[in-house]
Amino acid sequence: MGQTVAEKVLANRSGSSGVSAGEYVVCGVDVAMVQDVHAPAVFNRLDERGISELWDPSKVVVVFDHVAPSHGVDDADTKARVRRLLESYGVEHFYDVGTGISHLVLPERGHVRPGEVVIGTDSHTVSHGVFGAAGTGVGDTDMVYALLTGEVWFRVPETIRIHLTGDLPPHVSSKDVVLSLAANYGLDVARYRAIEFTGPVVEDLSIDDRMTLTNMSIELGAKFGFTPVDERVEEYVRCRTDEPFAAVEADPDVDYETVIEHDVTGLEPQVARPHDVDNVVPVSAVEGVDVDQVFVGTCTNGSYDDLAAVAALLSGNEVAPDTRMIVTPATRAIYQRATRDGLIETLTQAGATVTNATCGPCLGLGMGIIGEGETCFAAQNRNYRGRMGSDESEIYLGSPETAAATAISGHIADPREV
Amino acid sequence: MRGRAFVLGDDVNTGYITPAQYVGRPMDEITDHLFEPIRPDLAASIDRGDFVVAGSNFGAGSSRETAPAALHHAGVGAVIAESFARIFYRNCIAVGLHPIRCPAVTDAVADGDVLDVQPERRRIENRTSGETIDCQPLPSALREICAAGGLLAYYEDHPEGIVLENGTGSDRTK
């Protein structure tokens, strides 16, 4: 029987000739990423245990993206201590405040290759499946163990295939697709499983837009989320790394646990209402809901293509009075490219606040916290109660374009009508 | 283990278990705010040896290990849920808190019921109702890690690292 992408990567990295779903394996780790919320616990624990050497510092990547820059003395002191520890452990791949959000920084800086095992202390590490890597989130203890041994245990997951067909309508994006998947199949459709996104819709998406799918695989419960490694992906990776790699693809005769055929023809822009990612309705059902803040950014929607989509709608328009709009490019490199191409000028001219690259607003850690009774429309990944600030606030999720239309109107609006 | 059950619903995420604003604070402070966004009264009621019982997809969301670590710190004996989100599940094992899958548990247990739980058994006893509930204990491949007190304690006893024979403890349950 054919092997899935997950089975092939995990077999290869565990030194086995073949594994199948349900088996437990111990895999070598190719990249171990730690972000600043978890770096203090991870590196302090190593230090407290008297560990002076990591398994392989060259495979460790640390990114300060969550609280960036520090906005309190405690965080500043903590970060200073972690910086000293990173130096003593010889961690050279350290991307300090402002470089960007880890899941976009890693591929941008050539740390991710097809067929690799990437673990990170962040649930959205699943994003790297867009490059054919088995990326997944782990906790601090698993990370400490990996930094000591270079290994991680996995249960080989079953795989579901989500085959996307049809024509994506104008102003409807991969974010709308993934929200419609949550709406139709639920937040645990892929729990303990890998997803392989396939089909003509996926093939036509840019790498940025595919990453929105793999990134939000975790919102469907997934352990890994893969999109196909095609020439575009191989070229992207080849331009950024000298290391060899081999694309992994599923065998044609895989017996998937589930195959979901999802036709996107005629899909309306989708909006997740508070406080669950699968509380999804077409935008027409929530049009007119007043918002205090609009936010576009995060590992889900802070890519160049996302900014370009927002700028295209904001061009010549203005953010509504009584509404504040925050746009956060996901990396400094994206910010620079958006500056060169005039997108930042368009956004600021329209009245948006453009921040440095940070995760902050998405999880209430700064640069866009919302207060009691406030409503935010966010092009991000989660709308849990209290996530962006007050437990008595509300978050609606949607695409960058729906966010732009909403910013212009001051209430939730349909991007097809701007 | 015998303790009281606190019963929660589906999709209780790590942000509800340990809200982000307390992450990084001392553990005693974090445990004072367990479940604050959804059950602000709960943290003060949990005693050592009590159990958290939940519906499906318990521990969804971020990779925050603080969530199981705080439950462990508060003395929670085991978390028993209809299903777990995967990162939370592996974080439980990593910190030595027993995650027990129990597909019908919220139908069979009410808030305050007293349960008898043996993490390696396939049954939980509800002493209040007299009911017996089927459950799926940790696969053998992982039980040793959890029983050792978590992954780092296990590593101290096994400096050669985790040794799993392919297929050992194979687990096809959902």
Tens of pLDDT, residue by residue over B101-130, are 999 999 999 999 999 998 888 999 999 999
Q: How far apart are CA A127 and CA B27, in angstroms?
A: 31
> What integer is the mean pLDDT of A266-290?
97
Q: Which of A36, A27, A40 is nearest to A149 (CA)?
A: A27
∠ at Cα A191 (A250, A175), nearest 5°?
Answer: 75
* pTM of the predicted model as reported, rounded to 2 decimal places: 0.93
* Binary contact (B167, A142; C-beta < 8 A): no
* Binary contact (B152, A144; C-beta < 8 A): yes
Instruction: Give the one of B57, B87, B170 whose C-beta lies nearest to A138's C-beta.
Output: B87
Q: Identify the pLDDT of residue B171.
A: 38
> What integer is the mean pLDDT of A338-359?
98
Residues in a beta bridge with A164: A262
Give B58's DSSP letter.
B
Q: Identify the pLDDT of residue B170.
A: 33
Chain A contact for B15 (CB, 8 A cutoff): yes
Report chain B's terminal Cα–Cα distance, integer Å. Answer: 25
* Binary contact (A192, B86; C-beta < 8 A): yes
Q: What is the phi-psi region of residue A352: left when phi exceeds 0, alpha when psi lies from -120 to 50, beta otherwise?
A: beta
Is residue A78 within 8 Å of residue A51, measured between CB atoms?
no
> What integer is the mean pLDDT of A178-186?
97
CA–CA min distance A317, chain B (Å): 36
Confidence of residue B142 (pLDDT cuts 50, 70, 90): confident
Average pLDDT, chain A: 97
Q: Report the percent of chain B where pLDDT is more than 90.
A: 74
Confidence of residue B138 (pLDDT cuts 50, 70, 90): confident
Judged against a pLDDT cut of 70, whether residue B169 lies above it is answered with: no
Q: What is the phi-psi region of residue A22: left when phi exceeds 0, alpha when psi lies from -120 to 50, beta otherwise?
A: left
Q: What is the phi-psi region of residue A60: left when phi exceeds 0, alpha when psi lies from -120 to 50, beta otherwise?
A: beta
Q: Report the percent of chain B where pLDDT is more than 70.
A: 94
Judged against a pLDDT cut of 80, whether residue B173 lies above it is answered with: no
Is residue A210 within 8 Å of residue A306, measured between CB atoms?
no
Q: Report the percent of chain A where pLDDT is more than 70.
A: 100
Q: Identify the pLDDT of residue B168.
A: 38
Q: Identify the pLDDT of residue A298.
A: 98
Q: Which distant-in-sequence residues (6+ apart) come within 8 Å of B174 by Cβ?
A: A192, B83
> What integer is the mean pLDDT of A59-68?
98
Rounded (to 5) percent helix, strand, coil in chain B: 30, 20, 50
Confidence of residue B23 (pLDDT cuts 50, 70, 90): confident
Confidence of residue B163 (pLDDT cuts 50, 70, 90): confident
Quick: pLDDT tens for B47-87: 999 999 999 999 988 778 999 999 999 999 999 999 999 89
Question: Testing the interface with B: which of A44, A155, A391 to mutate, by most B Cβ within 10 A?
Answer: A155
- Strand, coil or helix: what is A149? helix
Confidence of residue B33 (pLDDT cuts 50, 70, 90): very high
Question: Testing the interface with A: which of B87, B95, B143 to mutate, by most A Cβ within 10 A?
Answer: B87
Residue A13's identity, in one-letter code, is: R
Place of tokens 């402070």: B29
Quick: pLDDT tens for A198-240: 999 999 999 999 999 999 999 999 999 999 999 999 999 999 9
A342-346: which pairs have CB atoms within 8 A and are 24 or more residues apart? A342/A311, A343/A307, A343/A308, A343/A311, A346/A311, A346/A314, A346/A315
Q: Identify the pLDDT of residue B165.
A: 55
Return the number of other C-beta atoms located less than 10 Å from residue A147's C-beta.
Answer: 25
Q: Which residues of chain A does B36 touch, with a Cβ-Cβ cutoff of 8 Å?
A: 391
* Binary contact (B61, A384; C-beta < 8 A): yes
Residue A196's identity, in one-letter code, is: E
